[in-house]
Amino acid sequence: MRTLEQTIDEILGLAATHFKVPREQLSPHDDFFKKLKIDSLQALELLTRLEHHFSVELPDYEFQGVSDFRTLAERIHTRL
Amino acid sequence: MLDLRQYTSLGAALRDALERWPDETCLIEADRERENCRLTYRQFKEAALPLARALQDLGFQGGDRAAIIMTNQSKWLISAYAVFYSGGVLVPLDYKLMAREHLQLLAHCKAQVLIVEHHLWRVITQADGYRDFKVRTVLVTEAPAKMDLAGARRWEESRGSAEPQFIPRAREDVACIVYSSGTGGRPKGCALTHENYLEQCVALTALYPFWPGVRYLSILPTNHAIDFMVGFIGPFTCGATVVHLRTLRPEYVRDAFPRYRIAYMTLVPMLLKNLERGLRAKFGALAPYRRFLLHWLIRINRTLVGDRPNLRVSRVLLRQVHQAFGGELRTLFVGGAFMDPSTLQFFYDLGIPVANAYGLTEAGTAVTVNDFKPFRADTVGKPLPGMEIKIINPGSDGVGEVAVRSKTVMSHYLDDPELTAETIKDGWLRTGDLGRIDPSGHLQLFGRVKNMIVTEGGKNVYPEDIENAFEGLLVKELCVFAANFVWPERVLGNEKLILVVRLEPGNEITDALLNELSSRNRRLPDYKRVNGYVVWDEDFPRTASMKIKRGVLAEAIRAKLDRQSAVVKL
């Protein structure tokens, strides 16, 4: 069973790889729209990546209003 | 299609459509790769009429208001038809609003019925303003078994056994109340009549007809004015099929084209750009000789097609591109916000015509649309049949405020005669948009005269609606503006909001204040966030009732400050 911190770490790693950003530049409280310079559709693409990685289905609406990695991780973590 | 001029209401037109094409598929609901439901017009009727009866048994009467808060799905349309059948007024609310905003609008429109998805209902019941909730009947869809619904009923179990009564409506009766803005400040509930919608549908289908068997892909929520018309009323009154996709994820949207052999689809600019980005990435990944071949075919297509689309030629020349879209795609519609001409040209060169349109909720959706006679990437097309456009106070270059007159213009703003009178003068709707009609009759847009922005996602954001997010900030007073309202620019797209703060005398901007400001800003949905702030050193001009005189303040800021140096980016 992953801890929340592990989940956050894996999300940051996946986001860095997917959007080609150095991992060390990302931190849990970052606004991922700003930090990754992405729009809401690209954020949904990231969500699909995360679904595959964590083997869970994440409804789009669950992530409405979420903009930082930590909250994103918390929402995913409750489904693991 | 039905001759909509013969009908007095949406309910009557939809009722006849369901009778006329009983065995045609009217609605498919897909979620990712799954198909949740597929209904013929007969099955749609069999799903909707028991719901209409249940509503009537619960006391719902002609003229009563029913709000819907749902994502993009089949129950939205079934519920809407049940409301229209019962003579009700539909209030489509944006499911992406926050719960307190939903509560404000439900109170403003005095809805008697609310039809809502369970996850949204759960959030509403936990919101601060819920104790003042007065909606008499709540129907909740997709609620888990044994879940406490806080007094609501299950939509799936709301089925009356007797035949419901069809309640006729007149053309001038209100069909929908559609909020174009106004959760924080002044709610703008556009009262759109049955005539508004019937005439809009006649105008649109004259240019872009649907027919039985043709499929429309709906990914925008049906509360969106465009989707309500082009993804519901239009296809249904022509016997066509609507495919609802419950997710906006680009990979599933791309998959849906070939899977359902889509002919038409409406997008907002952000989605179209995403499609473009995906295609460009695919083209870029091709082996060099294949990429060369593709560009060569695109050039030939451009030469052969010229300025009028020729699907037959393009589908042969660029077969693989068109196969990826299912091979039956006829037109993509785009509207709701500024569309970059280069994106329109990109798709046109591939033989995929994108009809760029302009409209606003107050005008019953679309006012102009590109008819490809010829294709123009630099305009929003010509007025639809029955629409009149004029430019108010044009400058020497012909640019002025766009005004619209047609049978599709809303009746009024709900409970706001003052705002209605300011907006509709002598039958002309003042749009607040700056434009020019070129010699060929095409409308070109240049910016706005009103204090608002439109996002790439097609959302209208009125600055005063988000000021309460910054309430309690340790400043003397504050105000949110569209930056282009303060410093007018003749551009569209990439519009920004700014926060103007007046500090207490002697105070300065501190790190603590900036952190608080940024933190409040982050809590807003991304499209409502302010992009920067301006420190203003005079008290805000106010009316006798202490409202900020926004126009006067904007003028004063413009006279004293320069945009580049005054706005500090957040």
**B249 touches B14 (CB < 8 A):** no
Poorest-pLDDT segment among A54-58, B127-131, B184-188, B251-255: B184-188
What is the rounded CA–CA span in Å between residue B450 and residue A69? 36
Residues B469 and B329 reside in one and the same domain: no
Fold designation for A4-77:
1.10.1200
Q: Is A31 on the interface with B (CB under 8 A)?
A: yes
Instruction: Give the minimum alpha-carbon distance from A44 to chain B in angstroms, rounded to a whole number.
Output: 6
Would you call B299 exposed, middle or buried from its count of C-beta atoms within 10 A (0-12, 13-18, 19+)? exposed
What are the residue ranges spanned by the domains of chain A?
Answer: 4-77
Instruction: Note the pLDDT of residue B185.
Output: 60
Of residues B327, B241, B214, the one with CA closest to residue B28:
B241
Give the per-residue pLDDT at B242. Answer: 98
For residue A34, name the pLDDT band (cuts at 50, 70, 90).
confident
B259 shares a domain with B223: yes
Beta carbons of B451 and B463 less than 8 angstroms apart: yes
Short-list B161, B63, B69, B155, CA closest to B120: B69
Q: What percent of chain B has pLDDT over 70?
A: 99
Q: Is B120 exposed, middle or buried (0-12, 13-18, 19+ CB in 10 A)?
A: buried
Q: What are phi and psi of A54, to 5 degrees?
A: -90, 0
Give the nearest partner residue to B522 out of A40, A48, A67, using CB atoms: A67
B495-541 pLDDT per residue, tens: 899 999 999 888 889 999 999 999 899 888 878 899 999 999 999 99
B301 beta partners: none
d(CA B170, CA B25): 29
Give residue-wise pLDDT tens across range B399-453.
999 999 999 999 999 999 999 999 999 999 999 899 999 999 999 998 888 888 8
Q: Which of B227, B247, B265 is the last residue of a domain?
A: B265
CATH number of residue B20's parent domain: 3.40.50.12780
- Residue B123 and residue B166 in one domain: yes
Contact list in B for residue A59 (CB cut-off 8 A) is 119
Let me know if residue B511 belongs to a domain: yes
Residues of chain B with Cβ-Cβ distance to A42 below 8 Å are 274
Please, what is the average pLDDT of chain B? Answer: 93
Residue from B364, B45, B356 nearest B229 by CA: B364
Mark whether B191 and B97 lie in a shared domain. yes
Structure token digits, residue B499: 């926060």
Q: What are φ and ψ of residue B44, in 5° steps?
A: -60, -45
State the smallest CA–CA distance between residue B439 and chain A in angstroms.
Answer: 37
Q: Are residues B508 and B363 in the same domain?
A: no
Query: DSSP letters along B91-133, please?
Result: EE--TTS-HHHHHHHHHHHT-SEEEEEHHHHHHHHTSGGGGG-
Q: How far apart are CA B296 and CA B174, in angstroms?
A: 54
User: How many Cα atoms occupy the beta-carbon half-sphere of A59 within 13 Å?
Assistant: 7
- H-run or E-run covering B233: none
Please give the tally of structural domains in chain B: 3
Same domain, B8 and B137: yes
Position B197 pLDDT exceeds 90: yes
* Maximum average pLDDT range among A39-43, B17-21, B248-252: B17-21
* Sign of the dihedral through C-alpha B58, B63, B64, B70: positive
The rounded distance, in Å, linking the Cα atoms of B114 and B55 is 11
Residue B455 lies in a domain: no
Residue A76 DSSP label = H
Six token digits for residue B136: 């008499």
d(CA B51, CA B156): 9
Q: Is the pLDDT of residue B183 over 70?
A: no
Give the pLDDT score at B440.
94
Whether A78 contacts chain B with CB within 8 A: no
Q: Does A20 lie at the interface with B, CB-CB under 8 angstroms? A: no
Which 8-state DSSP code applies to residue B155? Answer: G
Q: List CB contacts of B211: < 8 A, sequence separation 6 or more.
A: B1, B238, B239, B240
Of A48, A59, A61, the CB nearest to B251: A48
Whether residue B373 sits in one domain with residue B436: yes
Beta-bridge mates of residue B365: B360
pLDDT reported for residue B417: 95
For chain B, what is the radius of gyration of the CA atoms?
24
CB neighbour list of residue B367: distance below 8 Å, 6 or more residues apart: B357, B358, B359, B360, B383, B384, B387, B389, B404, B406, B443
Task: Give the tens place of pLDDT for each residue, B314-370.
Answer: 999 999 999 999 999 999 999 888 888 999 999 999 999 999 999 999 999 899 999
Residue B457 lies in a domain: no
B208 and B291 fall within a common domain: no
CA distances from B290 to B255, B282, B317, B364 (A): 23, 11, 14, 46
Q: Are B169 and B311 within one domain?
A: no
**Element housing A77 (H / E):** helix A69-77
> What is the sign of the dihedral through the CA atoms of B27, B29, B35 and B39?
negative
**Domain range spanning residue B358?**
268-448
Q: In this structure, are residues B298 and B319 in contact, taking their beta carbons and an 8 Å threshold?
A: no
| Nearest CA distance, B95 vs chain A (angstrom) | 9
Beta-carbon separation of A39 and B274 below 8 A? yes
pLDDT score recorded for residue B184: 56
Mean per-residue pLDDT for B364-391?
95
Helix ranges (H only) for B164-287 are 194-207, 225-228, 234-236, 250-260, 269-284
User: How far off is chain B from A29, nearest CA to CA, in Å?
Assistant: 11
Chain A window 32-61: which residues touch B at a Cβ cutoff of 8 Å? 33, 39-42, 44-45, 47-48, 59-61
Domain at B475, CATH number: 3.30.300.30
Residue-wise pLDDT for B118-129, tens only, equals 999 999 999 999
Reported confidence tier of residue B468, pLDDT bands at 50, 70, 90: confident
pLDDT score for B448: 83
CB–CB contact A40 B457 (8 Å): yes
Q: Choose the final residue of a domain: B224, B244, B265.
A: B265
Cα separation, B500 vs B553, whole angstroms? 10
Dihedral sign for Cα B10, B12, B13, B14, please: positive
Contact A48 B95 (CB under 8 A): no
Is A60 close to B251, i.e. CB distance below 8 A?
no
CB within 8 Å: B250 and A33: no
Find the CB nearest B249 among A48, A61, A67.
A48
Kindly report the nearest CA distance between residue B339 and chain A, in angstroms.
Answer: 16
Q: Give contacts of A33 with chain B, Cβ < 8 Å.
A: 526
Q: Are residues B508 and B426 in the same domain?
A: no
Contact between B522 and A31 using a beta-carbon 8 Å cutoff: yes
Same domain, B496 and B386: no
Question: B387: number of CA atoms within 13 Å, CB side?
Answer: 34
In a domain, B172, yes or no: yes
Residues B251 and B277 in one domain: no
Say if residues B106 and B67 touch (Cβ distance below 8 Å): yes
Q: How far is A65 from chain B (nearest CA, A)?
A: 5
